[in-house]
Amino acid sequence: MPKIEVRRDRFFQLIGKQMTIEELEQTLTSAKGEVDEVDEPILKLELNDTNRPDLWSTAGLARLLRILGGGERPVYGFFSRPSEMKEVENRTVQVDPELKNIRPYICAFAVQGPPLDEATLIDLIQSQEKLCENYGRKRKSIAMGIYRSTLIQYPVRYDAVDPDQTRFQPLGGDRVLSLREINREHPKGQEYGSIVDGFPKFPFLQDSRGEVLSFPPVINSAAIGAVEEGDTELFVELTGTDMDSLLLATSIMACDFADLGYTVLPVQIQYPYDTPYGPTIVTPFYFQKPQQTEKTAVEKLLGESFSDEKILQALARMGCRAEIRSGTITLYPPEYRNDFLHGVDIIEDVMIGVGMDHFKPVTPTDFTVGRLSEAEAVARKVVMLMVGLGFQEMIFNYLGSRKDFIEKMQISGDEMIQIANPLSENYEFLRNSILPSLLQAESVSGSAPYPHHIFEVGKVAKKDPEDNYGSKTYNHLGFLSAQADAGFNLISAQLAALLYYLNVEYTLEETEDPRFIPGRAGAVYVQGKPAGVIGELSPAVLENWGIEVPCTAGELCLDLL
Amino acid sequence: MGIDVAGTVRGLHPLEVRVLRAYPAGALVTVQKLEEDLSFNTGQANQVFSWLSTKGLLEESSRRTVRLFELTDLGKDWVNRGTPEERILEHLRSKGPSSLPEIAVALTMESKDAGSAFGALSREGVLGMDAEKRAVVKDPSKIGRIQKIRTLLNRAAEQGYLAEDELSPEELNLIQGMSKKRMATDSPFRTVERAEVEYRLTRDVEPVRKELEQRGITGDEVGALTPEMLVKKTWKQVTFRKYNIKIPPTRVLMGRTNAYCDFLRSVKDKLCSLGFEEFDGPLVETEFWNSDALFMPQFHSARDIHDVYYVKDPTHAKMIEQPYLDQVAAAHENGWKTGSRGWRYTFDREFTRRLILRSQGTVLSAKQLPRAKIPGKYFGIVRCFRYDQVDATHLSDFYQTEGIVIGESVNLKTHLGFLRMFAEEIAGATEVKYVPGYFPFTEPSIEVHIKHPILGWFELGGSGIFRPEVTEPLGVHVPVLAWGIGIDRMALMHLGLNDLRELFSYNIENVRLRKGK
């Protein structure tokens, strides 16, 4: 969930109205947001909708709240459309054909306006971070650069260059380095270099004189790429791999600049290859398609019918322009949004636009029969019997270490499911038996008055090459008794009582199991199949766990009973 | 300053009662006296003195130290087999004159012991030596000392000891010659010092004694009712001692369910009572069911390598069920027949088979869709695995409570109706608030916040109506409400805990003592 910081006064000024924190919290729910922390003059806000990157900036979030509060929907005249490309004067970017398979797309625009102040600069850095890190998947699909446009001579060239032969001084560096050296030595290179490391050539942005703008998606140049307070003319470019998300991020940045009082100047991109919107595009570009749904669908999903006016009003409150003809709603997404995948996305905006308070809960009337799963029903029977046998029910975590699950148990662990990317070796295996969990409990409970009788009914998983998933999950019972005179007779009697009341006939066959004392371990057979084991735990195993009281233990697969 | 007579009487042991009824206030008693008068043994007498003292009914009157002589193992042997002197005398009487070596061999005695016994007896004139250097009985009338020793041995054997003040000076002299220091093994007696205490019954005894008499308590009351009394019907002749029922009882280590499991079972029961059927599934899942079937794009940031646990071996499922695979893939790529434009990327059919540990309970909701009844309601309290550092608020594996409601009547308003039901029935909420939420697989999405009587306002759960891109490819053409509720905070509150790790505690004693509120 993206979190952003806004400066209270600036934020409320953009919204056009002062609010208390409580009022802000209330109105933020319509943006699926919440106030995370107030640290005057900074408000830390959390935005939950990962499909609404337009809300992850002071200006963007303020825009929605302004419109919700009755403000005008802003008109952005600088957008080109497939049918109408805007005038760009000399502002063009030429793309190298070799970039097609490296980082194919670039969008750009320039802005002119009031001198950059500190607050705007902080907001710009935040937008860049949210759009490129969250929405742009750590710059993989979107990276952004902002430059002083007065230093740029068009056309700008987006080239694929030899990473060893191309050199410039990166922002935050004290000398000239090759692109390869930047990836090796510069902190940003170490962080983002891997995005392009595998390619023979790297993306490179320079102006017509060969002055370096940046090495996208890694780092700007120290010269043109250093933006400071007081700058009034900027050049903004975004590079990436997915045209739609790139265009959307570009639109979001442009609309934010416009809302802050800047004039947005479109830039023409000339591709030597085709793109989803043709080889020549002027950006910012309105690429969104209208989305439709039926009024009947609104009524069905929201459980209530609304007049056309009410629907259009609700959508307008959400910043959306729409029309209704013969019961079909057509919505034209705002330039900064692309989250209308399906008609249901319109319906949700209607819901929020109407306001949640409008909808009153209705008690459902469909009749259905409630029922526990079979496994739960069996588990409850077993729990009841084990409690009757004097056992304390336990509940354990399912992940554990090689040491606990394999080494201390003296087993091979061949059938144990291992995690390929463990966060810690303490949670590297999925248990295939409840016994290690019970032994761990015993090992930390030496001071609890004896005798100890503990059990768990829970799940285990084991590899199974026959299975589609290569493993199977089972419901197991594991039980352990620790007392000075714990012996085979005790556990055999416990097993006999349990299975008698479960109506299960069984036989006990001597078995060799490294966890138990030889000659004191029995495999439990039910209908000819092995369904469990009981026995006196081997002193070696007890010693591995640091247990100093004799223990008997058993485990049964409840699915096989 | 009096004592609590009734309370004291209630707490009296039968042995105490017998003492109190036998002697008046001011009487002096000793262990020996109780042994003689009331047939107590030494242990009982000492015990009763201790009890009566703590109740203030007895006080120490005087104390002196008595020296006792006890038989050693050698002494006990002398009692049974005779002293060496007795045995030599007997041997000579029955076998006639014998040389000292002959005597030592015949009586399996050390020569020096035979020699010293002969020496003593010949000094007293009982024995003498004949011409052939054989020992012979000379004057049997002079055996007074031997007889006195025999008497002392027999008295000691009978009483267990001889007290110093019971002995004549002559006897004392004799026995001191046969007693060596403590624990000596080559003497028939050892000396022991014992404190002999005399107690006096206090004035408080009187009211207690009266009360006992009045209530007819004799101390002969019976403790336990035995099977024998029932069989022989002797219970009719006895009265039963009253117990002090306020004494703290001993602890019972009983079989018991786990308080957290009880809580989970109670939630399951409530959901069943609301008409929900429980579902279940494997811990290992595919990316397909865990996320793809829920219309989460494969490039979604929440699907990074660092958000789920991948299975090491095997890495991939053999196959994904058709036609669901094709339909879900198409929904991602272009919306399939759902009316959606899809996520517009190339669906990775290799990645979708990747095996992981289930990271969300919604997996089971998705898997239920193709086989669900309509109308139908399903739930699961499902173990899930997350790539998180374990601390007080994060676990690597934990339970999620999830479910679905399927049917033509599902819409936003019945949706809110369900949330209200959960809030009131499961969480005991007093107020409910609904706010728009975001989940990649539902639209619209609603979060439900509740005012809990103890916890105050908090988010109970998330919910929403499954997107058509989720339901249609899985063959469901009616609205499906999906919901998840967070019950961990309620569980912690219920159990009086504040650390999630405690829910899965390994500490047997903690688990034994834990109870729900």
Residues of A in contact with B258 (CB under 8 A): 392-395
* Interchain contact, A342 vs B341, CB within 8 Å: yes
Residue of A nearest to B412 (CA): A302
Structure tokens at A211: 């002055």
Interface of A with B in 229-248 (CB under 8 A): 242, 244
Share of chain B above pLDDT 90, in %: 45
Give the 3-state DSSP-derived string for B251-283, with helices as H, strands as E and coil as C. Answer: CCCCCECCHHHHHHHHHHHHHHHCCCEECCCCC
Residue A370 contacts B, CB cutoff 8 Å = yes
B114 vs A206, which has greater pLDDT? A206
Structure tokens at A362: 């209705």
Residue B146: closest CA among B169, B120, B114: B120
Lowest mean pLDDT among A234-243, A343-352, B62-71, B223-232: B62-71
- CA A12 – CA A66 distance, rounded (Å): 9
Query: B125 falls in which pLDDT band (50, 70, 90)?
Result: confident
* Model pLDDT for residues B279-338, shown as the tens digit of each residue: 999 999 999 999 999 999 998 776 766 689 999 999 999 999 999 999 999 999 999 999
Share of chain B above pLDDT 70, in %: 98
- CA A442 – CA B508 distance, rounded (Å): 7
The domain that holds B397 is classified in CATH as 3.30.930.10
Task: Let me know whether B186 and B206 are in one domain.
Answer: no
Task: Let me know whether B383 and B459 are in one domain.
Answer: yes
So what's the pLDDT on residue B141? 83
Element (H, E) at A517: strand A516-526
- CA A110 – CA B123 distance, rounded (Å): 140
Establish if B317 belongs to a structural domain: no
* Interchain contact, A386 vs B255, CB within 8 Å: yes
Residue B172 belongs to domain spanning: 71-191
Please check the confidence at residue B469 and state whether its pLDDT lies above 70: yes
Task: Let me know whether B181 and B273 are in one domain.
Answer: no
Structure tokens at A22: 């409580």
Mean of the per-residue pLDDT values for chain A? 95
* Interchain contact, B387 vs A362, CB within 8 Å: no
Task: Let me know whether B85 and B28 are in one domain.
Answer: no
So what's the pLDDT on residue B186? 77
- Nearest residue, CB atoms, A366 vs list B255, B375, B390: B375
Q: What is the CA radius of gyration of chain B?
A: 47
The domain that holds B116 is classified in CATH as 1.10.10.10
* Interchain contact, A427 vs B335, CB within 8 Å: no
Query: B185 falls in which pLDDT band (50, 70, 90)?
Result: low
Task: Let me know whether B145 and B90 are in one domain.
Answer: yes
Task: Let me know whether B385 and B504 are in one domain.
Answer: yes
* Interchain contact, B335 vs A352, CB within 8 Å: no
So what's the pLDDT on residue A422? 93
Residues of A in contact with B405 (CB under 8 A): 364, 366
- CA A440 – CA B406 distance, rounded (Å): 43
Establish if B247 belongs to a structural domain: no
Please check the confidence at residue B184 and state whether its pLDDT lies above 60: no
Task: Let me know whether B500 and B377 are in one domain.
Answer: yes
Task: Let me know whether B274 and B418 are in one domain.
Answer: yes
State ipTM: 0.91
Residue A71: closest CA among A16, A109, A21, A115: A16
Residue A29 contacts B, CB cutoff 8 Å = yes
Residue B508: closest CA among A422, A428, A319, A547: A547
How far is the alpha carbon of B461 from chain A, nearest alpha carbon, in Å?
14
* Interchain contact, A301 vs B284, CB within 8 Å: no
Establish if B428 belongs to a structural domain: yes
Establish if B256 belongs to a structural domain: no
Establish if B242 belongs to a structural domain: no
So what's the pLDDT on residue B2? 67
Residue B189: closest CA among B164, B226, B212, B208: B164
So what's the pLDDT on residue B488? 85
Establish if B66 belongs to a structural domain: no
Mean pLDDT of B198-224: 87
Task: Let me know whether B431 and B467 are in one domain.
Answer: yes
Task: Let me know whether B48 and B98 are in one domain.
Answer: no
How do beta strands A92-95 and A263-270 pair?
parallel
Establish if B86 belongs to a structural domain: yes
- Nearest residue, CB atoms, A441 vs list B306, B416, B506: B506
Mean pLDDT of B510-516: 91
* Interchain contact, B468 vs A342, CB within 8 Å: yes
Q: Which domains are assigned to chain A?
A: 3-68 (3.30.56.10), 92-283 (3.50.40.10), 291-358 (3.30.56.10), 374-560 (3.30.930.10)
Task: Let me know whether B10 and B80 are in one domain.
Answer: no
In chain B, the N- to C-terminal Cα span, in Å, equals 46
List C-alpha distances in Å: A330 to A295, A536, B342, B439: 10, 73, 18, 24
So what's the pLDDT on residue B179? 78
Mean pLDDT of A234-238: 96
Residue at which a domain ends, from B170, B191, B212: B191
Interface of B with A in 256-315 (CB under 8 A): 256-258, 260-261, 265, 268, 271-286, 299-302, 305-306, 309-315
Establish if B312 belongs to a structural domain: no
Mean pLDDT of A421-430: 94
Pair A178, A164: CB distance under 8 Å: yes
Residue B337 contacts A, CB cutoff 8 Å = no
* Interchain contact, A394 vs B414, CB within 8 Å: no
Please check the confidence at residue A30 and state whether its pLDDT lies above 60: yes
* Interchain contact, A371 vs B339, CB within 8 Å: no
Mean pLDDT of B89-103: 86
Residues of B in contact with A345 (CB under 8 A): 443
Please check the confidence at residue B182 and state whether its pLDDT lies above 60: no
Task: Let me know whether B419 and B450 are in one domain.
Answer: yes
Mean pLDDT of A61-74: 93
Total of domains in chain B:
3
Q: What is the pTM of this model?
A: 0.80
* Model pLDDT for residues B363-407, shown as the tens digit of each residue: 999 999 999 999 999 999 999 999 888 888 888 999 999 999 999
| C-beta neighbour count of B486 within 10 angstroms | 16
